[in-house]
Chains A and B, each alone.
Chain A
Amino acid sequence: RKEVEQDPGPFNVPEGATVAFNCTYSNSASQSFFWYRQDCRKEPKLLMSVYSSGNEDGRFTAQLNRASQYISLLIRDSKLSDSATYLCVVNPNDYKLSFGAGTTVTVRA
């Protein structure tokens, strides 16, 4: 079983829509969680950390459910510039981060 699993999508949504997706992780000892964004043929970049209490950063909301071992990302009022692949990242409490394969979001005009 992969350490981090994501629905690859793609999620095709119109501008202004809300889109949400999850990722699951297998290591219950994982301590920290993150979402990265990767544009086509570019390097990944940190989008936001995911805190136990949930957190928002503008139009982006991240949630953590430790009991069910999943994290989620919700994007409100989608913009064309939100089109990207979103990588779920988990720190299983060592020096290495585990990356999911990514969820592709395409926002159409």
Chain B
Amino acid sequence: NAGVTQTPKFRVLKTGQSMTLLCAQDMNHEYMYWYRQDPGMGLRLIHYSVGEGTTAKGEVPDGYNVSRLKKQNFLLGLESAAPSQTSVYFCASSYEIDTGELFFGEGSRLTVL
């Protein structure tokens, strides 16, 4: 039972490079989220999606883009990476929001030099 899978798990980028983080879930969840976690800051929402073909901005969307072309996949793109985007990125999905149960991937550790 895979749950939520994130790729890659680790990546080092140079400033200005681009990359895409892939999140895949096999639970048929409608809602998907991308968070970043920094020391002392907790989890901050970057973008989210309430269904296939929809995306919306979260708390810290600048410098990121997302797409949800298929229900099971939620992609997070960095067009021109900056050192401030060094962080641990978590993808999550949920069937509904009221239960409060988000299923998280294992995280992707990104370092921008």
Contact = CB atoms under 8 A, between A and B. Distances in A.
A34 B100 contact: yes
Interface residues of B, number: 24
Interface stretch (A39-47, A64-72, A73-81): A39-47
Chain A facing B: main interface SS: loop
Chain B facing A: main interface SS: loop
Nearest to B97: A95
A102 B39 CA distance: 10
Contacts of B104: 43-45
B100 A97 contact: yes
Interface residues of A, number: 24
Given A95-B50, A101-B40, A101-B41, A43 B97 contact: no
Interface of B: 31, 33, 35, 40-45, 48, 50, 56, 58, 90, 97-102, 104-107
17 contacts: A31-B98, A41-B107, A42-B106, A42-B107, A44-B43, A44-B102, A46-B101, A46-B102, A87-B43, A91-B98, A95-B31, A95-B97, A96-B97, A97-B97, A99-B42, A101-B40, A102-B42
